[in-house]
Amino acid sequence: MSALFARQEARRARGAAAFIAGLSPRGRAGLVAVEVLVVLALWQFLVGTLRLVNPVFLPPPLDIVNGFGELLATGTLGQNLAVSAGSWFTGYALALLIGIPLGLLMGSSLPVDRVVGPIAWTIYAAPSVAYQPLSKAWFGFGTGPVIFLVAISAVFPILFNIAAGMRTTNPSLVRAARVYGASRLDLYRKVFLPSTVPFLFAGLRQAAVLATIGMMVAELTGSSTGIGAVIIRSANTYQTDQSFAAIMIVVVWSIAMTQLVGVAERILAPWNRRKGVGR
């Protein structure tokens, strides 16, 4: 709807703004590509050629590509990415294992919500960095603290979204189900549970981003393996081209994981095609 209005608006207006507003999805992607290329070229020219800043602080794009090549050739990238991915998926799986049942319980039982809710919100209110020193004490220096921070960062959006989905189930669907003979168990299986699915996926998408942040926090502070450790180590040895390459990988990872959730949703809940932002 909004895209349609934007395009109609564009036909009336003139100039560059109108041109951009009127672009098709493919045109918009092209615009972003051109934008990125221009920035990269300018960056390369200003830092790489004119040397306006010390390239150690801000390595030009071609150096970053080199750094990426080095990380790849030495096997550093493969090894550490595997460690990070392992921690991420383990932590995320734990968050699902805890968040989904607890969220369902909170959503369906007011007493559980009253007891667990305030505690959950309190833990969620503190940034995950705050739990980092504790996690070191509890889980040592391996991947333990990383998994812990991924899980604790990802669990709350899943939990709260599912609980909200349960509570906001359309009462008219519940009435209809009762008319056609639904037992209490039927109501949960056939109405409440499916109703939470769109909320679950909204939570999973948030959780994917927060999990990546949690992973970075843990790996940047005293971990010897993982992409975060690569960033710290290369920066400490002034190989900032490699640091930037590693940062790019984290960005790509974060985007890839949210996209993965989107793909899962399209397969598992094809009936839920919302016309929303970024879809």
Partner 1 sequence: MTDSDTAPAPLIQVRGVTVRYDIARTGTTLTAVDGVDLDIAEGEFVTVLGPSGCGKTTVMNVIAGLVAPTEGEVLVDGRPVTGPGPDRAVVFQDYALLPWRSVFDNVRFGLEMQSGLRTGDWRARVQETIELVGLGGFENSYPRELSGGMQQRVGLARAIVAEPRILLMDEPLGAVDALTREVMRAEIEKLIAATGKTVLFITHSIEEAILLGDRIVVFKSHPGAVLEVIETGLARPRSERGAQSDPRYLELRDHLWDILQNEATTASRGGAGS
Q: Residues interacting with partner 1, by CB under 8 A?
A: 170, 172-173, 175-183, 186, 190-191, 194, 197, 269-273
Q: In the complex with partner 1, which residue's Cβ is closer, 176 or 256?
A: 176
- C-beta pairs of 48-57 under 8 Å, 24+ apart in sequence: 55/240, 56/238, 56/240, 57/240
For residues 238 and 250, the answer to whether their CB atoms sit within 8 Å is: no
- The CB-of-279 to partner 1 minimum distance in angstroms stands at 14
SS3 68: helix
Q: In the complex with partner 1, which residue's Cβ is closer, 193 or 235?
A: 193
Cα–Cα distance, 48 to 57 (Å, whole number): 12
Q: In the complex with partner 1, which residue's Cβ is closer, 28 or 266?
A: 266
Q: In the complex with partner 1, which residue's Cβ is closer, 11 or 189?
A: 189
CA 29 to chain centre: 21
CA distances from 229 to 37, 157, 210, 219, 220 (A): 29, 27, 19, 6, 6
Q: In the complex with partner 1, which residue's Cβ is closer, 170 or 259?
A: 170
- The CB-of-132 to partner 1 minimum distance in angstroms stands at 40
- The CB-of-59 to partner 1 minimum distance in angstroms stands at 50
- The CB-of-162 to partner 1 minimum distance in angstroms stands at 16
Instruction: Determine phi and psi for 22, rounding to 5 degrees.
Output: -90, 5
- The CB-of-262 to partner 1 minimum distance in angstroms stands at 18
